[in-house]
């Protein structure tokens, strides 16, 4: 069955450093993968989407990579700020279904001032 794994341990980094979050998937090849941010008590908010034929995508301080050989996506936040503290969710598309997302449990990021 399709399985998504994200760093289970919370990530604590110093302000200004680069945060790197990992998402691994097994047993299938998603057509694309999305990253979302979730703050406590709120719904997830879309950040970036990367397709299987793209190696890298950037948006301001955010960068996502997609390695279909390793079956892994990396999510980077450069020049991190305390306001980046949140839970980040990886969501690859379901096998054979472009609208159904399979969600990881998320990685909690804390950026310390």
Partner 1 sequence: DAGVIQSPRHEVTEMGQEVTLRCKPISGHDYLFWYRQTMMRGLELLIYFNNNVPIDDSGMPEDRFSAKMPNASFSTLKIQPSEPRDSAVYFCASSIPGTQETQYFGPGTRLLVL
* Given 14, 27, 42, 53, the residue binding partner 1 (CB under 8 A): 42
Q: Does 3 bind partner 1 (CB under 8 A)?
A: no
* String of contacts with partner 1 for each residue 56-95, x by CB under 8 A: ---------------------------------x-x-x--
Say if residues 21 and 68 touch (Cβ distance below 8 Å): no
Q: Please, which residues have CB within 8 angstroms of residue 104's CB and are 6 or more apart in sequence?
A: 4, 5, 6, 23, 89, 90, 91
Closest CA to 74 of 110, 14, 24, 3: 24
* Given 45, 56, 58, 79, the residue binding partner 1 (CB under 8 A): 45
Q: Does 105 bind partner 1 (CB under 8 A)?
A: yes
Q: Minimum distance between the CB of residue 2 and partner 1, rounded to whole angstroms?
A: 12
Q: Does 28 bind partner 1 (CB under 8 A)?
A: no
Which residues are near partner 1 by CB under 8 A?
Answer: 32, 34, 41-46, 49, 89, 91, 93, 97-101, 103-106
């Amino acid at each position: 069955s399709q399985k998504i794994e994200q760093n289970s341990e919370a990530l604590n980094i110093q302000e200004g450093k680069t945060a790197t979050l990992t998402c691994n998937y097994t047993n299938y090849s998603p057509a694309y993968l999305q990253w979302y941010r979730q703050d406590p008590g709120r719904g997830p908010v879309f950040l970036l989407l990367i397709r299987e034929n793209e190696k890298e995508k950037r948006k301001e301080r955010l960068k996502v990579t997609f390695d279909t050989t390793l079956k892994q996506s990396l999510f980077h936040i450069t020049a991190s700020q305390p306001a980046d503290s949140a839970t980040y969710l990886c969501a690859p598309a379901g096998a054979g279904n472009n609208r159904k997302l399979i969600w990881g449990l998320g990685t909690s990021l804390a950026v310390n001032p």
